[in-house]
Structure 1
Amino acid sequence: MMNNKVSNFSDLIHRVTSSCLLHPIGSGRQYVTNIHSDDSDSDYEDLKHSDDNGEPEDDITPTPPAPVKPVTDNETVTLTLMNEVFETVSCLKKAYVSLQQAHCPWDPDKMRSSDVTVINELKKLGVLRERFRRSVLRGGGVTGKRTVAGVEVREVVAPYEAAMEKMTVEMRRKEAEIESLKEKLSAVNGSGGRKSRSHSSHQSKKKVNYASQMQVSPMPLPSPELFESCVNNVKEGSKSFTSLLLSLMKSAHWDIAATVRSIEASTTTTTNALNTTTDSIVGPNHAKYALESYINRKIFQGFDHETFYMDGSLSSLLNPNQFRSECFTQYHDMKSMDPIELLGILPTCQFGNFCSKKYLSIVHPKMEESLFGDLEQWRQVLAGNHPRTRFYGEFLTAAKAVWLLHLLAFSMDPPPVHFEGSRGAEFDHRFMESVVRFPGGRVAAGHVVGFPVSPGFRVSDGYVVKARVYVVPRGEL
């Protein structure tokens, strides 16, 4: 009997618990439970019967979902622009990282490609910005916003308008230059009188004819006068570099007299001259001529070869006409270039190799360490780089002048032959020019060459560019 009561009590607890789970408190439902019944199946049927009467199990009404706000066209455009902006910025970041990586190690091709990519991505950002501003103007609604957007658009367009104006001015200048050349050509052809009598249609016809003549006219050939002008540029470049080097030597407390004696000794092969303890033939304040002689001797070494003996090229012999044309084209393309900017793009080009080779032959490691306290420039040049310093920049100016002179020489047929006044040679005013000035402008009799300063050149048709020499009385040698 006790066991049955325990069992009925357990069943009762189970049914109440199940009912509570199925019908939470507060639902307003009345439960009818026969706690005296011992039959669990009848209780289950009662619950089932009450559910089948259609009474709801829960009176809580579910909350309907909030209505979805439709996306407007302006929002769609804005979202699309934002996605494009993020994508473009990501590509810009990758391109900029690639541009930085191209600097070390130096990779010109990768640098140019990355630079183009960066510019393209920046242009895309500019286009996206203008699209956004136009969308603001179209959306409008507020006059103030339209005004601000309009001002910003004008600010963006202003640089392009300035560039267009500048190009227009340049075009007009070119047109005026063309007209001037046209008049000169007409004067040469003897058509000056006919030109004044021509009417507008005839002038138009002449313009077409002139344009066709300009297209077919060959590149002007190099002349002895142009070559002499290049020699003067070499002289100015070497004098400027020499002055800077001499001032650095004095600042570093060099023994200038000993340096001059060493340079003098290198210009002769006689036994007496090799003794650097003898007195110098260079007068007071004339050390710059000895130093310039040393620089020119180093930088002109190999001038008679088409590549300064940097390689074994024989193009001037195998195809001389094409080689001369290529040399003159390179001369025209390079004469207006800044050498440091050119070598910044192509550090290992033929001109770059020439500069590295000549710098290392002129400036020895001990010399540079004495002048600057370290070998940083020397190491960079040895590695094929070109430092952006004032000293190296002055050297590049002189080196470029010599390189252009070399290109011009090998574009002439026959190429000029260079010579120099040797130590002890009689001074000849037809082929020599004294760097030391004499009263009356003429070298006094009895003077001979103490040492050469810069070479001279024999050009075609007997044209001579004089060599520069340092002269001394014959008794001082």
Structure 2
Amino acid sequence: MLQKFALAFKTKTIELFAEDEEEEEDRASISAAIDLDPAPEEIITGQRVVVLKPDPLPPPPQLDPETLILALFATLSSFRAAYLHLQTAHSPLLPDAVRSADRAAVSHLRRLSDLKDSYFQNPNPSTRPVLPFSSHLQAQVLENQHLLRTFEAVVNRLQSDIDRKDAEAAALKQRLRDVETANSKLARRLDRACTPPDGKVEALLSIGVFDSVLKDTCRVVHRFTRRLVDLMKRSGWSLDMAANSIYPNVDYAKAEHCSYAILSYICLGMFRGFDSEGFSREGSGGIGLDGIDVNTQRMNSLTQFIEHSTVDPLELISGSSSCDFAKFCERKYQQLIHPAMESTFCRNSDHGEFEWGALRASGPLYEPFVSMASSIWTLHKLAWAYDPVVGIFHVAKGTEFSMVYMESIVQRAVTMGLDREKKSRPKVGFTVVPGFRVGKTVIQSRVYLNGLKEVV
């Protein structure tokens, strides 16, 4: 009965209206349907059925361009953060971090590709994918989060650099401590060397030591002279005229020998005043030890010889321009190098207000000259540590050659134009390197002989 009632009720609810003349007939049909047991497939006739449709849904919201842009920027920030993490994971190499950052970067690239495809494949705004209303807020949050991750990666890299710098600083501090320890040991050895017993002083101050230092000094003077001659040639100077102005009327065996005159000019100029204790002071001449104990003077000279031998002369002169060595270099440079000569060496250089004739670090002869002056200064300190003090001499022009006191600077040479009957000896043209007296021993002076012919 409930089934029949439900069927009848359903039929009644979907009926909207009927013809007036059919109303009674419908009621009779309903009564008959109640009394009878109709089959489920029973078809109801004589009624007008209208299907009710649901209310139409509102149109989907259109894609907000601002939301799309925010999503795009958020994805870009994510990719940038992932790529930065990928770079950071390579130094030092962390395989797991590299793989994770690589996957993240690839996923963000795919997200960018999807955004691009969704925009260009749907030109109609109504068919574009719909983003939630809060997507722009979520995009801003994501962008800020990825910016924080980027800053975190930068901070991690900077912290790694700081840790590395700290490790380097610690290593340098340890090296400094080691150097200071080594310096202290050397200082103690230097103190012992500067005040050795008398027997050791005599062993140190031998003729062989002085001769060895003298040979080193001569090599440095030759090196400076070659540098000077090279600058003169490049500047257009005539070496013949320069040599003739220094020593006129000298008969050179070869044209190239005129450079010996320039070597003599430099060497004798640097050794001028060598026999004075105040080698660095202007106007000091002759040996003067008045009021000074000889042994004290010897020990002071030996100490200065050892100390100067262990320092860099360029650092010494730049660190203390008022020291005796700096004054010595300045005075000798002004005596030997004329301002006009130096100006021609730097003719094509832009020196601005450069003071010609003064020893300056920017000058073309600065380093070789300081090295030469340092060698002669060291030799002078060693000479004044001997007892008696080492003497110096040079041979005047026109003096007959003596194998005891002189040595020809041109080794392979013979005299020419000699008077065989008078058996005259060759004459000295000029002294190139002065000679020295160490006690009773003579170190020969090196001279250039006038009127020689080189043996081929």
Say if 2:454 is the partner of 1:469: no
> Which residue is equivalent to 1:348?
322
1:266-307 deviation line (CA, Å, top 9, x unaligned): xxxxxxx5xxxxx74352211221100011121111111111
- 2:214 is aligned, of 216, 231, 243, to 231
Residue pair 1:340, 1:386 contacting (<8 A) in 2 also: no
1:106-132 deviation line (CA, Å, top 9, x unaligned): xxxxxxxxxxxxxxxxxxxxxxxxxxx
Q: Provide the C-alpha distance between the structure 2 equivalents of 1:216 and 1:242, rounded to a whole number of angstroms.
A: 37
Q: Which amino acid aligns with 2:263?
A: E
Say if 2:291 is the partner of 1:318: yes
> Which residue is equivalent to 2:237?
254
Q: Provide the C-alpha distance between the structure 2 equivalents of 1:463 and 1:253, rounded to a whole number of angstroms.
A: 44
Say if 2:378 is the partner of 1:404: yes
Q: Which amino acid aligns with 2:168?
A: A
Deviates more, 1:337-346 or 1:280-289: 280-289
1:430, CA displacement in angstroms? 2.6
1:315, CA displacement in angstroms? 6.9
Give the fraction of aligned pairs with identical amino acids, expressed as a percent: 28
Q: Which amino acid aligns with 1:294?
A: Y
1:130-188 deviation line (CA, Å, top 9, x unaligned): xxxxxxxxxxxx9x99998588446413343366368769979999x9xxxxxxxxxxx
Q: Provide the C-alpha distance between the structure 2 equivalents of 1:472 and 1:312, rounded to a whole number of angstroms.
A: 33
User: CA distance change for structure 1 residues 433 and 216 in 2, over 3 Å: closer, same or farther?
Assistant: closer
Q: Provide the C-alpha distance between the structure 2 equivalents of 1:465 and 1:432, rounded to a whole number of angstroms.
A: 9
Tell me, what secondary structure is at the counterpart of 1:317? coil
Bigger relative contact order, structure 1 or 2, given CA contacts below 8 A and separation 6+? 2
Q: Which amino acid aligns with 1:240?
A: R
1:464, CA displacement in angstroms? 2.2
> Which residue is equivalent to 2:247?
264
Q: Which amino acid aligns with 1:223?
A: S
Say if 2:166 is the partner of 1:156: yes
RMSD between superposed Cα atoms in Å: 4.1
User: CA distance change for structure 1 residues 378 and 435 in 2, over 3 Å: closer, same or farther?
Assistant: farther
1:424, CA displacement in angstroms? 2.2
Residue pair 1:365, 1:378 contacting (<8 A) in 2 also: no
1:218-248 deviation line (CA, Å, top 9, x unaligned): 4744322221122112211111111111111
Q: Provide the C-alpha distance between the structure 2 equivalents of 1:215 and 1:426, rounded to a whole number of angstroms.
A: 43
Q: Which structure has the highest helix share of the two?
A: 1
Residue pair 2:345, 2:364 contacting (<8 A) in 1 also: no
1:329-355 deviation line (CA, Å, top 9, x unaligned): 111111132222111111121111111
1:2-37 deviation line (CA, Å, top 9, x unaligned): xxxxxxxxxxxxxxxxxxxxxxxxxxxxxxxxxxxx
User: CA distance change for structure 1 residues 282 and 398 in 2, over 3 Å: closer, same or farther?
Assistant: farther
Q: Which amino acid aligns with 1:425?
A: T
- 1:453 is aligned, of 413, 419, 432, to 432
1:57-82 deviation line (CA, Å, top 9, x unaligned): xxxxxxxxxxxxxxxxxxxxxxxxxx
User: CA distance change for structure 1 residues 315 and 439 in 2, over 3 Å: closer, same or farther?
Assistant: closer
Residues 170-319 of structure 1: pairs in structure 2 closer than 5 A: 217-218=196-197, 220=201, 221-265=204-248, 273=249, 280-281=251-252, 283-308=254-279, 309-310=281-282, 316-319=289-292
Q: Provide the C-alpha distance between the structure 1 equivalents of 2:194 and 2:234, rounded to a whole number of angstroms.
A: 56
Q: Which amino acid aligns with 2:355?
A: R
Residue pair 2:224, 2:368 contacting (<8 A) in 1 also: yes
Q: Provide the C-alpha distance between the structure 2 equivalents of 1:242 and 1:421, rounded to a whole number of angstroms.
A: 21
Residues 360-371 of structure 1: pairs in structure 2 closer than 5 A: 360-371=334-345
Q: Which amino acid aligns with 1:296?
A: C
Q: Which amino acid aligns with 1:161?
A: A
Tell me, what secondary structure is at the counterpart of 1:379? coil
- Contiguous gaps of at least 5 residues in structure 2: 1-151
1:352-399 deviation line (CA, Å, top 9, x unaligned): 1111111111111222222223897972764xx632444121111111
Count of matched residue pairs: 283
Q: Provide the C-alpha distance between the structure 2 equivalents of 1:239 and 1:215, rounded to a whole number of angstroms.
A: 31
User: CA distance change for structure 1 residues 161 and 362 in 2, over 3 Å: closer, same or farther?
Assistant: same
Q: Which amino acid aligns with 1:250?
A: K
> Which residue is equivalent to 1:428?
402
Tell me, what secondary structure is at the counterpart of 2:300? helix
Q: Provide the C-alpha distance between the structure 1 equivalents of 2:261 and 2:431, rounded to a whole number of angstroms.
A: 9
User: CA distance change for structure 1 residues 283 and 372 in 2, over 3 Å: closer, same or farther?
Assistant: same
Tell me, what secondary structure is at the counterpart of 2:260? helix
User: CA distance change for structure 1 residues 337 and 285 in 2, over 3 Å: closer, same or farther?
Assistant: same
Tell me, what secondary structure is at the counterpart of 2:261? helix
Q: Provide the C-alpha distance between the structure 2 equivalents of 1:297 and 1:215, rounded to a whole number of angstroms.
A: 30
User: CA distance change for structure 1 residues 264 and 282 in 2, over 3 Å: closer, same or farther?
Assistant: farther
TM-score, scaled relative to structure 2: 0.53
Residue pair 1:356, 1:381 contacting (<8 A) in 2 also: no
- Contiguous gaps of at least 5 residues in structure 1: 1-141, 178-209, 266-272, 274-278
Tell me, what secondary structure is at the counterpart of 1:304? coil
Q: Provide the C-alpha distance between the structure 2 equivalents of 1:392 and 1:232, rounded to a whole number of angstroms.
A: 22
Q: Provide the C-alpha distance between the structure 2 equivalents of 1:456 and 1:377, rounded to a whole number of angstroms.
A: 41
1:468, CA displacement in angstroms? 1.0
Q: Provide the C-alpha distance between the structure 2 equivalents of 1:345 and 1:288, rounded to a whole number of angstroms.
A: 35
User: CA distance change for structure 1 residues 415 and 376 in 2, over 3 Å: closer, same or farther?
Assistant: farther
Q: Which has the larger radius of gyration?
A: 2
Q: Which amino acid aligns with 1:419?
A: F
> Which residue is equivalent to 2:389?
415
Q: Which amino acid aligns with 1:345?
A: G
Residue pair 1:327, 1:407 contacting (<8 A) in 2 also: yes
Residue pair 1:281, 1:450 contacting (<8 A) in 2 also: no
Residues 73-112 of structure 1: pairs in structure 2 closer than 5 A: none
